Structure 1
Amino acid sequence: MEKVSYFCLDRNRKKAAISLKGILQGVVADQELNEVEILFLDVWLKSQEHLRDDSDAIDLLDAVGDILADGVVTEDEIDDLKTLLEDIVKFKEVPLDKNIDRVNEFLALVSGVVADDILNTEELSALIDWLSRNDDLFSTFPINLVVKKMEQLEQSVSQETMSEELLQYLKKVSGANFCETGSVEVHPLAFIEDEIDSINHLNSSIVVSGEFDMGSRDDVKDIAIGRGYRLLGSVSKKTDYLVFGSKVSPNWGANNFGGKIEKAVKLKLEGYPIKIISESQWISFL
């Protein structure tokens, strides 16, 4: 058990380090830094328990704290902080051994880019550059959906409209909504949830996944059985509904929960009528 605990701790520290570097890449992608981004960094860093021993995170949090302490942010302070961010991006070594590591880096990059609710030309170029260097992930969820969305927008709308629509889409993909909420808590998967008007409970096949606010997964399964559903252990072409719990991890590709989501999305793209719905939406129809 102790070995498992240390393994999980190391894995979580690595995820946090990947997120740190990715977010900083996004924040400085346009070579500019504003007060909203500084506030975002302050709140995000304070929320990262797995970075408490990370020297770069400690230095960065101290620097941000000093800037915000007197309530006045000067140009010199912004320039010094931007230099620190760029140095961390340049010199911090975080191995990206698996595809999911690169997916997490991309999601963090997106979070940094959209932190101030702006997507400008330089930031869009940074996203395109990352995707170009990682084109082997174009079939990997959720990067495949981002690429598809960008291609659709490029063909159908003006550059200005594309930037605004893509900004809103990227916020949903990353689950980030800092400007509206002041919180760095992410709510991923909203962008793939189906909005439905009704649910046919009786004899419909269902897969439940994730952690639920309404109870344990077994509790949820019992409720589903009571409503007449047929329970499936995994997502397949025969699945009618995939219901995901509200306590969802943003690193969805790193575990079985993420695998189910990815497979369900793939089946939807292939034309199968599977519905992906949240715990709260499902509850509203019980």
Structure 2
Amino acid sequence: MSTGNYDSLVYRKHTTRSEADKAINSLKGILQGIKLDGEVNASEVKELQGWCTKHHDLVNRNPFKELMLLINEAVNEDANRPELMEDLVWLCQQYEHNSVFYDAATADLQILQGICHGVLADGMITDKEVEELDKWLDGHAHLDTYYPYDEVSSLITSVLSDGKVDEQERKRLMAYFNEFAKLTDKELSRKISSEIAEIKISGICTSNPDIHFDGRTFCFTGLFQRATRKEIETQVAKLGGLISGSVTKSTDYLIVGDSGNPCWAFACYGRKVEKAISMRKEGYRISLVHEYDFWDVVEDMH
């Protein structure tokens, strides 16, 4: 055996458990996402097959072989798909008792990404799916300072603010979910990419942000409507916050100026925002906060 192969085996021994736990959390989310509208169609089952292919290396690890057998059965038994879905969810839940690799928040975030994947699995986002996802988010508010929960929550809150989901909002949701819920169905993925080609999403401000000032680092970007950049920095310093001219690993909040942009709830553009989003995807806890929400928090403190 070569040294390279040996090192690979040693590495896999330590990583297989994390891969298995992440795969199960992803599947749980995909199943929940598929079930949100109460229907299971052929495209959604095909995406489950894609999950099997992607995680084939884990087939000899409990309970993956049984999960994959159930998914293959769902392909052929379309009349029994709803029941098979319940069996899959149940089997995932049995695995939970032995799953300790990830903390609860990380596991829930993996499930959330899976839910978005499941919603996107048939290339459509229905009103019912948006409403049911909103309920799931409400029940997991402990994730409100984590990416991507805060951004998904902000999007859903904005979409449902007028009580309806129009086609442009539907496309924005699809574009956002497509950012991190990568479909295994390449043909469907190309179709979605074509439909959302004109939608640009760079970053999304957190709705109802939880802001603390003492010892926290603030950075600013954009044009501010309510006060000058200097006045805002002075206010932050008075409350015990630190000021940074650029987004770094120590940045806690990036305050985004309104700039007269009517789409701020969906997209904030700029170099600092792009860097913050990139760092958030790497796991850094940087919150994007709209200037109106920033001032609401400041006023509540007086």
TM-score normalized by structure 2?
A: 0.55
Query: Over residues 32-71 of structure 1, what are the superposed CA-to-partner deviations in whole Å (9 max), with x where a residue is unaligned?
Result: 2110011111112111156323444322322433555xxx
Match of 2:119 in 1: 113
- Where does 1:32-111 land on structure 2 (aligned, <5 Å)? 32-49=39-56, 51-66=58-73, 68=75, 73=76, 75-93=78-96, 94=99, 97-111=103-117
Asked whether the 8 Å contact 2:22–2:110 carries over to 1, the reply is yes
2:143 is equivalent to residue 126 of structure 1: no
2:282 to 248, 253, 258: 258
| Structure 1 residue 269 displacement after superposition | 3.5
Compare CA radii of gyration and give the structure with the larger one: 2
**2:164 equivalent to 1:154:** no
CA distance in 2, matches of 1:17, 1:173: 21
User: Letter of the aligned partner of 2:85 in structure 1?
Assistant: K
Count of residue pairs the alignment pairs up: 213
Higher deviation after alignment, 15-24 or 56-65: 56-65
Is structure 2 residue 11 aligned with structure 1 residue 11? no
Structure 1 match to 2:202: 192
Q: 1:97 to 1:67 in 2, by over 3 A?
A: closer
Q: Which runs of 5+ in 1 are unaligned?
A: 195-231, 272-286
Q: How big is the shift at 1:126?
A: 3.1
Q: Which amino acid aligns with 1:85?
A: L
Listed as ranges, the gaps of 5+ residues in structure 2 are: 1-6, 194-199, 205-245, 255-269, 292-302
Match of 1:269 in 2: 289
What RMSD over aligned residues (CA atoms) do the two structures have, in Å?
4.0
Pick one of 36, 55, 72 that aligns with 1:29: 36
Matches of 1:191 and 1:52, distance apart in 2: 37
What letter matches 2:87 in structure 1?
L
Q: In percent, how many aligned pairs have the same letter?
A: 17
TM-score of the aligned structures, taking structure 1 as reference length: 0.58
Q: What amino acid is the match of 1:115?
A: A
Distance across 1 between alignment mates of 2:84 and 2:104: 31
- Aligned equivalent of 1:142, options 134, 148, 169: 148
The alignment partner of 1:30 has SS state of coil
Does 172-181 or 117-126 show the bigger shift? 172-181
Q: Distance in 1 between matches of 2:61 and 2:189?
A: 22
Cα deviation for residue 160 of structure 1 reads 4.2
For 2:83 and 2:37, locate their aligned partners in 1 and report how far apart those are by CA, in whole Å.
Answer: 16
Change (3 A) 1:44 1:75: closer
1:225-264 deviation per Cα after TM superposition (whole angstroms, max 9, x unaligned): xxxxxxx9944669966988xxx9xxx97xxx6134x53x
